[in-house]
Structure 1
């Protein structure tokens, strides 16, 4: 029996544009559908990077606090944090009191803190600075492909037709993942993914899968060029959806997450996707609110608490499922804040700031020099570590991808991973 376009439309599959260009699907998709029928793939060696972007410019000086420097205390009469309240790192710096989860990970050797990270001739515009971080180019164009998009194109395809990366957010796709040859979907919830694909909430899913199996058995070569568009968009998402369905209403082996936290919910979703057996190697989430121009103290404390508790719960969840050894978390922001507090008990846009890597694969510790508060440039400490060195480390030492292709030139990696 031949599966017709009419039958597929009746099943609801046409709404996903799967058959927008003909009565059969591309051969690679058919192979993916069959592969998914075998159930989750748990590749113990499949390395995963989870990127958390702190939107707004996180105040690095009140995150990794230079409590041993008198200039810090004199420059922030209202905002300076006292050494006795901090989570100690060494005699010079400590973590914000709200970063208890990070402090526990540091004690366990699972937190790497890279100090004084930035780039030459820093830009204090949110849009421009984030574009620099996203593209790993100091003068990026609007259509410049992102550093992760270029790395994805240079690496092997994810097995089984799974997406090469997933953007876990309601926001638009960040430039870091934009402009490559391989399509990267965005989703905030699994339910949203189902609706986007035109999948029924309950009934009909088994019939749809059976229809895909019938198509897979009939599929031959397809030369219609319009199918290239399909392959770059919804089809990639559809190839992963069968596995997503299996975890939609189940959460076995789950760990507790903070209540009322958007970031925690997104990381919980990432953990569920990882447990489902997706071969997707990169997940990207955004967490906003760090543009603290006024009344910063409580606002920043609450943000850091949510970040710390969410990441700690996420890593604990992965440990319980046996996936902790293959996941690294990268946390960055587009810039730090100025040394001196402003008249509104806040801080204005600055330059260099710390970057964090977390997880079992990380070689924990403090990297890079302390911020030099005695020698400022335009009111800010100068950067000492180019952020592209962190990217090169993540690409080469963790994801095993060619960093120079992504970054445009070689950068010396840092010893941030266990050998």
Structure 2
């Protein structure tokens, strides 16, 4: 069994319960004790299912919006944070407040050429930063971490989810998927309790997993310095963002954090479903934003909210079907708080879908260069950077 397969298997076996604290301590101890300006990290929230951008950041002043969406359009009286013909869904009241504070940038009409309307394939394109007709085995962040980490660093990237994320896959396993962070506690090693099987490699992994306790006490001490905030909602995303905030406040200095929120495939009953999902997003993000701002760490953390594609311009009677371009949100990291890109042009469509204006890989190139001081061309992203995000 080679080292990479062994580490992948142990990480999967423990679900991060034992490995993450020890490795986090080892990685964090290589850095200064306090997070400072310049010690940046990226946090990603992937909205799975294809979020309806037109009902998220709404062109409320365009009569074509109401013409195309007689069943699901949001009225001018409902939307909030009105600015130059655009406004937020009423469930995103905190997004509007963050933007008013100057800490949220909206990127309009984000997509890519020759868009794919398959959830799986479009997510793959976003996660690998490939062209629509190109297939890449490693994720864009995994490739970045391969070059950024001078030696194997299992927690340079952390994915808070129940499944691995292709975006973080590299030649080396420099990221780990964590399903249940609350279980990150040292276990007393009891070799007698290890269940034996007919697979000696699996038995070996089980023994190692039960013995990985070194550094757990130090990790618990570090976590004790980053208290939980009662303001977080008791939702899956709320808990994940609370944990990410604790890791950041505890100076563990992972470079990339990733999590997701599903339920955005709103073919039917969209008004109710979309409102509920955006409320969950809004409340969790605002707690995270407030937590980091109070800790004076918001300038070190750039939060990126995106989805694999938007929805079609015309409703289907009770919802929307798979579309193409949509808005992307960036919070923190000393962004300029702008709205970039033209308002959606609902008269100039591509077979009923919005035409993209901003290539998502230009956003990636900007994040890597301006936040990570890394040349995106080294991992195959040659798109031009955007000049007005930070």
TM bucket (normalised to shorter chain) is 0.7 to 0.9
Counterpart of 1:284 in structure 2 is: 258
CA distance in 1, matches of 2:89, 2:177: 32
Find the partner of 2:320 among 328, 347, 360. Answer: 347
Q: TM-score, normalised by structure 2?
A: 0.82
Counterpart of 2:120 in structure 1 is: 127
Counterpart of 2:332 in structure 1 is: 359
Instruction: Tell me how large the CA RMSD over aligned residues is.
Output: 3.2
Find the partner of 2:221 among 240, 243, 246. Answer: 246
Q: Deviations over 1:317-365 (max 9, x none)?
A: 112223222011000000000011113x110000000000001511101
Counterpart of 1:112 in structure 2 is: 105
Counterpart of 2:155 in structure 1 is: 163
Cα pair 1:173 1:186 within 8 Å, conserved? yes
For residue 104 of structure 1, give the secondary structure of its aligned residue in structure 2.
helix
Q: Deviations over 1:281-315 (max 9, x none)?
A: 11000110000010000110111111111111101
- Superposed counterparts of 1:15-414, under 5 Å: 36=29, 41-44=33-36, 45-139=38-132, 144-157=137-150, 163-170=155-162, 172-194=163-185, 199-200=186-187, 204=188, 243-246=218-221, 250=224, 253-343=227-317, 345-414=318-387
Counterpart of 1:11 in structure 2 is: none
Cα pair 2:154 2:173 within 8 Å, conserved? no
CA distance in 1, matches of 2:215, 2:111: 36
Cα pair 2:154 2:174 within 8 Å, conserved? no
CA distance in 1, matches of 2:28, 2:294: 26
Larger gyration radius, structure 1 or structure 2: 1
Cα pair 1:88 1:94 within 8 Å, conserved? yes
For residue 329 of structure 2, give the secondary structure of its aligned residue in structure 1.
strand
CA distance in 1, matches of 2:361, 2:79: 29
Shift in alpha-carbon separation, 1:156–1:303, aligned structure 2, 3 A: same
Cα pair 1:187 1:193 within 8 Å, conserved? no
Cα pair 1:166 1:283 within 8 Å, conserved? yes
Shift in alpha-carbon separation, 1:408–1:373, aligned structure 2, 3 A: same
Q: TM-score, normalised by structure 1?
A: 0.77
For residue 175 of structure 2, give the secondary structure of its aligned residue in structure 1.
coil
User: Which ranges in structure 1 are unaligned for 5 or more consecutive residues?
Assistant: 1-15, 19-28, 206-225
